[in-house]
Amino acid sequence: MMRRLYDWMMELAASPKAPHALATVSFVESSFFPIPPDIMLIPMVLAERAKAWFFASIATIASVLGGIAGYLIGYLLYDTVGTPLLEFYGYLEKFQHFSSQYNDYGAWIVLFAGVTPFPYKVITIASGVAGLNFGVFVVASIVARALRFFVVAGLLYWFGPPIREFIEKRFGLVTTVFFVMLFAGFLAIKYII
């Protein structure tokens, strides 16, 4: 089933309706869909590199709006919708672990999850359930999702097809290392100054 879904998304990426499909996939991935929008973004940028920033903007805006929907699922519908979705994807245990840390690290968690391959939908729903400040959630989501999609689009814009394999195989690792170093830097500044 996942392979058919992946193949269908790749076909959509080559169609004239690709920008609309990218927006839809970016929106639903942030709250319940299992496949990330990068699967569409990468071939779209490779096909029309001059539109890289436009495509990254679509993915960012739609993803943040989808993240808000996920937040609302957690905030308003956790018992009826949120719990079944998390159980369906096998993320309920991850959710319980992260929800306990939201008071101190909510913005960092949203930033981290928004940039890395960690399932962002878990964080959007958890943010709503935990009652993370909505403004903090939205700002962190904008920064994280823009960073993720504009980095992918930028790499493809500047380096073209050879970077595709690198992104698909190592992007998660690179962004995770970057974020760990960034977080460690902020902690060091906090305790040194």
Rounded Cα distance between 114 and 130, Å, is 17
In a domain, 104, yes or no: yes
Look at residue 111 in the predicted model and tell me its pLDDT.
82
- Angle value at C-alpha 180, between 44 and 74, nearest 5 degrees: 70
In a domain, 3, yes or no: no
In a domain, 158, yes or no: yes
In a domain, 86, yes or no: yes
Phi and psi of 17, rounded to 5°? Answer: -90, 15
Read off the pLDDT band of 189 (50, 70, 90): very low
Of 134, 146, 147, the C-alpha closest to 102 is 134
Per the structure, the complete domain to which residue 120 belongs is given by 25-192
**What value does the mean pLDDT take over residues 136-149?**
93
Alpha helices in 35-193 (DSSP H): 38-47, 52-77, 83-88, 92-99, 102-115, 120-130, 134-159, 162-192
Rounded Cα distance between 96 and 184, Å, is 24
Q: Are 126 and 98 in contact (CB under 8 A)?
A: yes
pLDDT over threshold 90, residue 58: yes
- Tokens for 133, please give them: 């400040």
- Tokens for 60, please give them: 């960012």
Of 156, 146, 120, 172, the C-alpha closest to 42 is 156
In a domain, 74, yes or no: yes
**Mean pLDDT computed over every residue of the chain:** 80
In a domain, 13, yes or no: no
In a domain, 38, yes or no: yes
In a domain, 8, yes or no: no
**What value does the mean pLDDT take over residues 90-115?**
76
Residue type, 13: A
Residues for the chain: how many in total? 193
State the total domains in the chain: 1
